[in-house]
Amino acid sequence: MVDIKRLQEEDHDVIVIIGEVDASSSIELDNAISEAVKSGKKKFLVDCTSLDYISSAGLGVFMSYIEEFKRNDINLVIFGLNDKVANVFEILGLDQLLKIEGTKEEAKALLG
């Protein structure tokens, strides 16, 4: 259902989400973000260009780490949401609570 990869690039890591994140697969996204946080690294991009679907279970994973990102000074920027997935973030107003950019270049610029 979902395939999650973590790649190292320059001074940051990229978490690539491929497929659908729902109540049956959100645990995999949770594990990937948890590992990223524990790695001690501070800069992450989340590549959603191949994310076809996300339900509240997936959104909840991102939300549950917002405080931890702040506490540990972690900069995580999401990019490449398609219109349907972006709409889900917007319905809840999560586009205001998470860092979301259109393209990888824009996301990298925000990462600093």
Partner 1 sequence: MKYCYKVPCKKEMLKEIRCFVKEVLEKHGLSEVDVSTLVLAIDEVCANLIIHSHCCNPKESIEVEINVDKDKGLIFNIIDKAEIFNINEYQEPTLEDIIKKQRKGGIGLILVKKIMDDIQIYSDKKKHICRLVKKIPIN
Please report how close the Cβ of residue 14 comes to partner 1 at its closest, in angstroms. 23
Please report how close the Cβ of residue 9 comes to partner 1 at its closest, in angstroms. 28
Chosen residue from 30, 36, 101, 111 binding partner 1 by CB under 8 A: 30
Closest to 99 (Cα-Cα) out of 71, 72, 62, 68: 62
60 or 102: CB nearest partner 1 = 60
Residue 56 binds to partner 1 (criterion: CB under 8 A) = yes
Residue 18 binds to partner 1 (criterion: CB under 8 A) = no
Q: What distance in Å separates the CA atoms of residue 34 and residue 87, rounded to the nearest whole number?
A: 25
Q: Is the CB of residue 29 less than 8 Å from the CB of residue 6?
A: no
Q: What distance in Å separates the CA atoms of residue 13 and residue 109, rounded to the nearest whole number?
A: 14
Chosen residue from 26, 28, 44, 100 binding partner 1 by CB under 8 A: 26
Residue 1 binds to partner 1 (criterion: CB under 8 A) = yes
Buried/exposed code over 91-101 (b: 16+ C-beta within 10 A; e: otherwise):
eeebbeebbbb
Residue 73 binds to partner 1 (criterion: CB under 8 A) = no
How is residue 74 written in tokens? 């972690």
Residues that bind partner 1 (CB under 8 A): 1, 20, 22-24, 26, 30, 53, 55-57, 59-61, 63-68, 83-84, 87-88, 91-94, 97
